[in-house]
Amino acid sequence: MATDQDLVVETVRDILGSHEPFVLTADRRWDEGLWTALAEAGLTGVGLPEEAGGSGGELADAVAIVRTLAAGAAAVPVAEQLLVAGPALVAADLELPSPEQATTFAIADSVTVHPVDDGDGPGRFTLSGTVPDVPWAGAASSVVVLAPAPAGLEGSVLALVDVSSLPATDAFNLAGEPRGTLVLDQVGAIGALLTPAQADEVRARYALARAVQLAAALEQVLAWTVQYAGERHQFGRPLGKFQAIQMELAEMAGEVTAVTALTDAATQALDRAENVVLAAAAAKVRAGAAVEVVARLAHQVHGAIGFTQEHKLHHLTRRLWSWRDEAGSELVWSRVLASGLLADGPDGLWPALTRVG
Amino acid sequence: MSNSLTLAPAPRSEAAEQVRAEVREFLAAELAAGTFRTHVDTWLSGVDPEFSKKLGERGWLGMTWPKKYGGHERSAMERYAVTEELLAAGAPVAAHWIADRQSGPNLLTYGTEKQRQEILPRIVAGECYFVIGMSEPDSGSDLASIRTKATRNGDGDWVVNGAKVWTSNAHHSHYGIVLVRTSPSDSANRHAGMSQLLIDLSLPGITINPIRILDGGHHFNEVVFDDVVVPGDMLLGEEGNGWHQVTAELAFERSGPERFLSTYPLVAEFGRRVAETGDPAQLAVLGRLSARVLALRQMSLRIAAALDRGELPNIPAALVKDVGTTFEADVIEEIRKVVDVTPSLDSPDPLARALAEAQLHQPGFTLRGGTNEILRGIVARGLGLR
C-alpha cells in the first residue's frame, strides 16, 4: 500500500526525472529550475504548518523529500529550508518567508547583534559582521542566522535576514555547492532571543539535516556500487562474483545500515522533541564516520572510471566528503555527545546511552 | 535501501523500559553486596550458577517462551532490555547464556513435547545449561564438512563418534545440541545428511578436554564422543534437516546485544576516566564510540522487533554481528590511543584491567558464531551478489 510519504517521494522523483538530472552536469552550482519546479509543487514548504504559510505535513515527509533530493545530488537548499531554517523560525514564533523563496541557514558566531528600539516592539535587530560558510550563498534570498545574543543578554538570537541584495563571496565546498561568506553591515533583521538550550537545538537540527543527507547519499552510493559490480565484467565474470569485492560491498552495507538506523532514530527523537541534541550529535558523528569507508570502497570498486568527471559517482562522493565536515564536524559533535552522555556523572554513561536511543 | 538488509525501526516498548529499570536496580544491589565484580566478555567467561538462578527467580530467563514450559511470554524487546543491561554491567551470565539464547528457542521450534517439558522449565529456573556442538577440529566456519557421525544401533538408539570444539563451558553444562552426520556426506549436496541430537553430557563415552584461551581462562573445550549411545528419542527435529535447523538458529545467535557489548565494560571504565580528566581527545573518542554503540543498538533492536513479528532475519543478523564484533575489537585500539595505561590483569587500575581482559579476549570476537568473512558472504547474498 502506498503511503502519503511514498507519494511525496514519487512526486519528487518525477520532478527530478523530468528535470535534466543534476548528476550529469558537474559545474552547475545551484539548480534554479529544479527549485522552481519543487516550489510550484508545494514541496518547499512541506513539514511547515499551513497557518504559518507552509504546506503542512509531517517531519517524516520533509525528511523523505530531503533524502530523495540528496540521493539525486540535487543542488537546491531544501534541507536547509525544510529541516533547519523553516522549523527554527516556526519554533521561535517568527514569520516564515514565502516557501517559494529559498531560505537558507548559517551559524553566525562572530556577528554582533544590537536590538533596535524604534517603537515597533521587540524582535528587531541590526546585525554586523561576517557570516562564513553560508550554504547556497548567492542563491537563497533569505538566510536565518544564529548569532550571539546582544551584550548583557544570555543565549542567542535567531534572525531572518533578507540577503537578496547583499553580495556574497564566491566559495564552494568540495562538491561545488556554494558556501560563500556574507558581510553584514548594520543590516536590519527580524529575530527572537533563544535560550542556550533552544540555540543548541537549532544547531542540532542543522547537524541532523546534514546527517539525513549523508544517510541518503551513502545508501545511493552503495546501490550504485552494487549495481556496477553486477554489470562490470573483469576476468570473464562480474566484479560482484569476486569474493574480495563481496567483502568490500558487505563492509559498505554494514556502514550504511548503521547510519540509516541511527539517523532514523534521531529523526524520531526530533519528532518527539526528546534528547534532540544528543541524538542528532550521534547521527552526525556516525554518518560522518561511515563516509571514509563507503566513499573509499565505492571508488575502489568502480575503478578508474569512477575517478572521472564523466561518471556520476563523484557527485555523491564529493558531497559525502563535504557534508561530513559541515554543520559541525565529527570532532565537534563527538565531544558534544560525550559531554552530554557524562552529564549525570562518571557512572551515568550507560543509562544515558539507553535514554538517547 | 531496497535490499534485504533493511528492517523497520523498532517500536518503543514501555514494558521493556520498565523491566530495564528493575534489572538496573537488581544489579546495583548485587554489586553493592559484592556478589559479582564487573568483567569484560562475561557471556563467555562469567560462569556463576548462583547468579543464573537468581535471574531465573526474577523471571529473566526464558522470558519469551510459553508459560506452559515455565516461560514468561514476554516480548523480544523486553528480553533485549534484560540481556543488554546484564552485559553492560559485566555481570556473570555465561552459565545460562547459550541455553537461554539459543538452545531453548531451538527446543521450542524442533523439540518433542517430552524434551520441552523435561528441559525448558529447568532452563527458565537457571539450573540447566547447554553447549552448542557445531564446529569440529577440521571444520571451522565450514560446517558442511563436519564428520561427527551418528548411526542407529539395533535398539534404535544413536551411536555417536567424533569430536566437537570451541564448546563454551561444556564442563559446566548439562546438555549439548550436537550437529552430526546421519548419512554419509554427499559432494553433490553438501548440506544434506546432517541432523541435530540432544545429548546429555553425563553419558558414558563423553570426554571433555579443556582448551585454554590467551588469558589462561578455561571456557572452551573439546568434547570427544567415543561410541556414545544416545537414546533414539533424543533426535532434535527431523533426521537430515540439521543444516536447515542450524541456519535458522543462527538468527538468535548472531543478532543479540552480546555481539557488540562484550567490551562495553571497558567503554564504561574509559567513560569514568574521561569524566575525571575532561581531556578533549578522550572526549572525542568516547563520543565516536558512543555513536557506534547507539547505531548498533538501533540495528539490534530492529532485529528484536522482527523476532517479535515472528520473522527470522538471518541476513540482517549476520550484518549486525559483522559490524558489532568489529566494534568490540575496535574499542580497544580507540581507547588505548588516548590513554597512557599499561594493560595488566593484576593492575589496581580498573581501566588497565579492563584493557587487559579485552585485549586477551579480542581475537575471539570476530571468530565465534561464524567468522566475519563468512558473515560478509551472507551479507553479499543479501545484496544480490551471490
Arithmetic mean of pLDDT, B219-236: 97
Arithmetic mean of pLDDT, B365-382: 94
The set of cell numbers assigned to B50 is: 548462583
Strand order in the sheet with A124-135: A103-107, A142-148, A156-162, A179-194, A124-135, A112-115
- CB neighbours of residue B264 within 10 Å: 30
Spatial CB neighbours of A320, under 8 Å, sequence gap ≥ 6: A214, A217, A218, A221, A291, A294, A295
- Rounded Cα gap, residues B375 and B141, in angstroms: 10
CB B192 within 8 A of CB B186: yes
Backbone angles phi, psi at A296, to 5 degrees: -60, -50
Phi-psi region of B162 (alpha: psi -120 to 50; beta: other; left: phi over 0): left
Supply the pLDDT for residue B6. 83
Arithmetic mean of pLDDT, B112-136: 97
- Rounded Cα gap, residues B296 and B261, in angstroms: 10
Q: Where do we find the cell 548528476?
A: A23
User: Three-state DSSP class for B162?
Assistant: strand
- CB neighbours of residue A93 within 10 Å: 9
Residues of A in contact with B377 (CB under 8 A): 243, 246, 250
- CB neighbours of residue B345 within 10 Å: 13
Looking at the partner chain, which of A255, A265, A281 has a beta carbon nearest the beta carbon of B298?
Answer: A265
CA neighbor of B246 nearest in space, from B324, B386, B142, B156: B142
Flag if A282 and B291 touch (Cβ within 8 Å). yes
CB A225 within 8 A of CB A297: yes
Flag if B287 and A333 touch (Cβ within 8 Å). yes
- Rounded Cα gap, residues A70 and A219, in angstroms: 10
pLDDT digits (tens, 9 = 90+) for A296-316: 999 999 999 999 988 999 999
- The C-alpha of B47 sits at a distance from chain A's nearest C-alpha, in angstroms, of 23
Q: What DSSP designation does A96 have?
A: P
pLDDT digits (tens, 9 = 90+) for A211-252: 999 999 999 999 999 999 999 999 999 999 999 999 999 999
B5 pLDDT band, cuts 50/70/90, is confident
pLDDT at B4 over 90: no
pLDDT digits (tens, 9 = 90+) for A67-117: 999 999 999 999 999 999 999 999 999 999 999 999 999 999 999 999 998
Flag if B284 and A339 touch (Cβ within 8 Å). no
Chain length of chain B: 386
B349 pLDDT band, cuts 50/70/90, is very high
A57 pLDDT band, cuts 50/70/90, is very high
Supply the pLDDT for residue A118. 75
- The ipTM (two decimal places) reads 0.95
Supply the pLDDT for residue B251. 74
pLDDT at B185 over 90: no
Kind and range of the H or E element at B164?
strand B158-165
Supply the pLDDT for residue B249. 83
- CB neighbours of residue A242 within 10 Å: 16
Flag if A261 and B299 touch (Cβ within 8 Å). yes
pLDDT at A148 over 90: yes
Kind and range of the H or E element at B150?
strand B149-152
Supply the pLDDT for residue A29. 76
Residues of B in contact with A346 (CB under 8 A): 271-272, 275-276
CA neighbor of B295 nearest in space, from A330, A66, A266, A68: A266
Chain length of chain A: 357
pLDDT at B364 over 60: yes
Q: What DSSP designation does B8 have?
A: P
Q: Share the mean pLDDT of chain A.
A: 94
Three-point CA angle A281, A286, A288, nearest 5°: 95
pLDDT at A9 over 50: yes
Supply the pLDDT for residue A5. 85
Flag if B1 and A350 touch (Cβ within 8 Å). no
pLDDT at B113 over 80: yes
Supply the pLDDT for residue B186. 86
Residues of B in contact with A272 (CB under 8 A): none
Residues of A in contact with B326 (CB under 8 A): 254
CB A340 within 8 A of CB A200: no
pLDDT at A350 over 50: yes
Give contacts of A 249-288 with B, CB under 8 A. Answer: 249-251, 253-262, 264-265, 268, 281-283, 285-286
Residues of A in contact with B373 (CB under 8 A): 247
Supply the pLDDT for residue B1. 41
Q: Where do we find the cell 548419512?
A: B183
The set of cell numbers assigned to A292 is: 571514509
Interface with A, mutate which of B5, B299, B372, B383 (most A CBs under 10 A): B383
Q: Where do we find the cell 514519487?
A: A10
Flag if B296 and A268 touch (Cβ within 8 Å). no
pTM: 0.96
Q: Where do we find the cell 578455561?
A: B218
pLDDT at A4 over 80: no
- CB neighbours of residue A25 within 10 Å: 12
pLDDT digits (tens, 9 = 90+) for B128-178: 999 999 999 988 888 999 999 999 999 999 999 999 999 999 999 999 999
The set of cell numbers assigned to A308 is: 572521472
Supply the pLDDT for residue B345. 96
Flag if B267 and A268 touch (Cβ within 8 Å). no
- Parallel, antiparallel or unpaired: strands B218-230 and B158-165: antiparallel
Number of H helices, E strands in chain A: 11, 8
- Alpha carbon of A196 to those of A134, A145, A203, A232: distances in Å? 22, 15, 11, 53
Supply the pLDDT for residue A2. 54
Supply the pLDDT for residue B2. 40
Residues of B in contact with A357 (CB under 8 A): 294, 297-298
**Alpha helix locations (H) across B259-279?**
264-277
Looking at the partner chain, which of A246, A255, A353 has a beta carbon nearest the beta carbon of B377?
Answer: A246
Q: How many contacts does A have with B, using Cβ atoms within 8 A?
A: 161
The lowest-confidence range among A167-171, A291-295, B210-214 is A167-171
Supply the pLDDT for residue A1. 44
pLDDT at A19 over 60: yes
Write out the DSSP string of B182-209: SS--BTTBTTSSEEEEEEETTSTTEEEE
Write out the DSSP string of B85-135: HHHHTT---HHHHHIIIIIHHHHHHH--HHHHHHHHHHHHTT---EEEE--
